[in-house]
A and B are shown apart, each in its own frame.
Chain A
Amino acid sequence: MKAKQKAAPPAATKALAPQEKPGWTDIPIGAVVVEAGNGVNYQTGDWRSERPVVDVDKCIHCLFCWVFCPDNAVVLHNEKFKSINYYHCKGCGICSAECPVKVITMVEEAKAQSNANDSGAADGDGNLSPKAVGKGG
């Protein structure tokens, strides 16, 4: 894959508590979003009721999941599947449906969390930050 390396999106900030969010005097008028690519800051991982769990040993690195994921939540390394970014993965299950060798299992989020004993926001490598997104290729 010779896709041009894209500039990294702005580093994600931790989700802000309601009182920490900027006030009406500090945001652009008209709800215009003036910062390109700031969707990376938006945590959609906490919408998830099921999470994709990948059996990486059986993965054939076809990258269908990467192409189909509507949230750019599939993380690549050296043009190979690396992990799922659970900060953004909202658990739609499209990757699981599209995987030609059926190695992505959708696991109930509550069960996955109690198994992994984590908050559910960490990515496959335990990173809370969504930074890896967009650096694949």
Chain B
Amino acid sequence: MGKLIAATGNQAVAQAMRQIDPHVVAAYPITPQTDVVEEFAAFVADGVVATEFVPVESEHSSMSTVIGASAAGVRAMTATSSQGLALMWEMLYIAAGLRLPIVMPVANRALSAPINIHGDQSDTMGARDSGWIQLYCKNQQEAYDTLIQAIRIAEHDSVRLPVMVCYDGFIVSHSLAGMELLEDDQVKAFIGKHKALHPLLDTKNPVTYGPLALFDYYFEFRRQLVEGMARAANVIEEVAEEYARLSGRYYGRYEKYNMDDAEIGVLVLGSAASTAEVVVDELRAQGVKAGLLRLRSFRPFPKAELARELSHLKALCVLDRADSPGALGGPVGVEVRSALLESAKRPAVINGIFGLGGRDTTVDLITTVYHRLMKIVDTGTVDEPLFYLGVRGGNNNGRELEAAIPQARATR
């Protein structure tokens, strides 16, 4: 049994980074990730870690620095949020394209404008096609556990891809929770020694990173990347099982809650799942067969598994904490619909955009989502395939929702 502590999500992440003790960390502080950098810089100053810490002038530079360090042949990490991630953009694709196993915690935050520092997943959802593995965490403990596992996933011989470990800004990053730390040597043994592939500093075996690959080779390298991503699916599961043997905590690519016999279900990523669990418990107590599926691995996307786990439902709502203006729905909603398309039997699917800019997503609000699903099952019709949960104004959404809240309360 490890050490029990009270930690915010950022502190949990900083503790994991201390135990990982990467060779190089280059980071720039940005809300809500700031404490990660602050706490880690203190570990460096106190000599608790051997890390070469590079304070940089921007996130473009932090990602560039860890790319250089990783290509040189060492374990390199950074951390960011929101605008910082946006500023890294071109380097994100380069990290993945060069197949560098960089691990980066991201405290999810909305993107400007208008400026907002609170949690939604617009930042990382926008980076979904960058070739990074994306794992979304529910709470402080999971952010810690996932970061440690991410090192193994990223550096796995059959993967060699960078990993983002995402946790909701403020809701997870700044709130305090009880959690368990593994012993330092347990983490050290679990992650093992860093194995570099084609290190630039190996002057006896000179290599070139970042050559030009035009119409004759570019396509082949992109195809390789897709394969690395596909192989990551099994590796995530293998690493999760090994980690469970060590810690007693298991996290696969997704997590089910009362799902197997459910008739209606919600699919969501991140901390909102904790709230939804409360709603499921309440509805179950009333005899409603409600379930929940929390997706952890958005990249790679577990298409076949989701089709299998969701097809028995009568109605499903995918909740997206990010929007894709002009698209058919949020990024997760669109993809889950596609995943279900090949199933002979599939639920009616609706998609709700929620919690943008950190808008509080309460038990009441999520209860209205299940009520929508109950109505769909009762009437057999879908009125609103895409809705904005709890937004004010407009002809129907806001008012409909406000009306639904007292009703939702009444049923509890």
A residues with a Cβ closer than 8 A to B are: 18, 21-25, 27-34, 36
Contact = CB atoms under 8 A, between A and B. Distances in A.
A93 to B, nearest CB: 22
A30 B227 CA distance: 12
Question: Which 5 pairs show the lowest CB-CB distances between chains A and B?
Answer: A30-B99, A33-B208, A24-B220, A24-B223, A30-B98
23 contacts: A23-B220, A24-B220, A24-B221, A24-B224, A25-B224, A27-B217, A27-B220, A27-B224, A29-B160, A29-B221, A29-B224, A30-B100, A30-B221, A31-B97, A31-B210, A31-B211, A31-B221, A32-B98, A32-B99, A32-B207, A33-B207, A34-B205, A36-B207
A131 to B, nearest CB: 21
B207 A31 contact: no
Interface string B209-220: 111010011001
B92 to A, nearest CB: 15
Contacts of B98: 30-32
A32 B208 contact: yes
Contacts of B227: 24
A25 B220 CA distance: 8
B207 A34 contact: yes
A33 B198 CA distance: 9
B393 interface: no
B105 interface: no
B47 interface: no
A18 B216 contact: yes
Contact of A21 (B207, B209, B211, B217): B217
A24 B221 CA distance: 6
B325 interface: no
B211 A33 contact: yes
B228 interface: yes
